[in-house]
Structure 1
Amino acid sequence: MMRVWMLPLLLVLCGAAVAGGLVSSGSRGAAVVYLLGFAGLAAVSSTLVFPKSLGAAEAQRRSAADGRPVVYWRPGCRYCLRLRIRLGRAARRVHWVNIWSDPEAAAVVRAANDGNETVPTVVVTGRPHTNPDPAWVRGQLSAATAKR
């Protein structure tokens, strides 16, 4: 669980160090800007910008029931973040599974990607798709919603 927060914590500490150096040299305004910038990067690289993760088994069960895609992701992954941002509000309707929190999810991703934990891996109707275009995922989500 700790590795999920290592990058955000490192970013906050770096921001604090840079801001401390700027304050000591008399640049308080720049210190605030840098501190806020590093805090923003820390928030974006954390689990806070993603909807609540499910376990792999629960996500698969829900996907089988409602036809919505399952997205396997991990914190700090820029491609996962790109998918999350580009999906916008529709991201709440996708089933998100953090592979760092669920060993079963990591195994699903490795099985789909020749032993690699390549994310985002999106599973739609039992078929995995590695790092798909966000527009395609949005289309799959719309198709699943229309079928209901």
Structure 2
Amino acid sequence: MMRAWVLPMLLVLCGSVVSIGLILGGSPGTAAVLLLVFALLAGVNSPLFFPRPVSALEAQRRSAVDGRPIVFWRSGCQYCVRLRFRLGRSARQLHWVDIWRDPDGAATVRAANEGNETVPTLVVAGQPHVNPDPAWVREQIRPSR
């Protein structure tokens, strides 16, 4: 759980150090803008940016009932952030499993990716798809509405 917050904390820390240096150098406006940019980057790379994760077993149970895809992801993954950002509100219709919080989810991803924890891995109707195009994912969501 803690490693999911390492990158966001590092971004806030670096932004703070750079901002302090700029304030001491006489550029408080630039410091405020850079601190805001670092804070936004930290937010996007944090678990808070993603829908609330469920366990792999719960996601499989829910998917069997409603037919919605399952997304296996982890914090700090640029491809996961890209997928989440491009899906917008549609992301809430998927079942999200954080592989850093759920060992069963990590095992599922390794089984689908020849032992690698490559994310995002989307499971649609029992078939895994690694780093799918967000437009394709939106198409997979539409039938389940």
Q: Could you tell me the TM-score, scaled by structure 1's length? A: 0.96
Shift of the alpha carbon at 1:125? 0.6
Query: Which residue in the other structure is 2:133 paired with?
Result: 133
Distance in 1, matches of 2:86 and 2:32, equals 29
Structure 2: tracts of 5 or more residues without a match = none
Alpha-carbon distance in structure 1 between the residues aligned to 2:84 and 2:20: 33
Q: Distance in 1 between matches of 2:108 and 2:144?
A: 22
Alignment-mate amino acid for residue 23 of structure 1: I
5+ residue gaps, structure 1 = none
What fraction of aligned residue pairs are identical, expressed as a percent?
A: 65
Partners in 2 of 1:133 and 1:22 — Cα distance? 40
Distance apart, 1:144 and its partner CA = 2.5
Give 1:85 deviation, angstroms: 1.0
Whether 1:14 aligns to 2:37 is: no
Give the distance between the partners of 1:25 and 1:122, measured in 2 at CA: 48
Q: What does 1:1-148 correspond to in 2, within 5 Å?
A: 1-145=1-145
Where 2:41 maps in the other structure, the secondary structure is helix
Structure 1 Cα separation of the partners of residues 118 and 60 of structure 2 = 19
TM-score, scaled to structure 2 = 0.98
> Deviations along 1:80-123, whole A, 9 cap, x unmatched?
11111111111001000000000000000000000000000000
Give the distance between the partners of 1:123 and 1:60, measured in 2 at CA.
9
Runs of 4+ in 1 over 4 A off after TM superposition: none
Number of residue pairs matched?
145
**Residue type at the aligned position of 1:87:** L
Superposition CA RMSD, Å: 0.6
| Alpha-carbon distance in 2 for matches of 1:90, 1:74 | 19
SS at match of 2:106: helix
1:42-101 Cα deviation digits (max 9, x unpaired): 001001110000000000000000000000000011111111111111100100000000
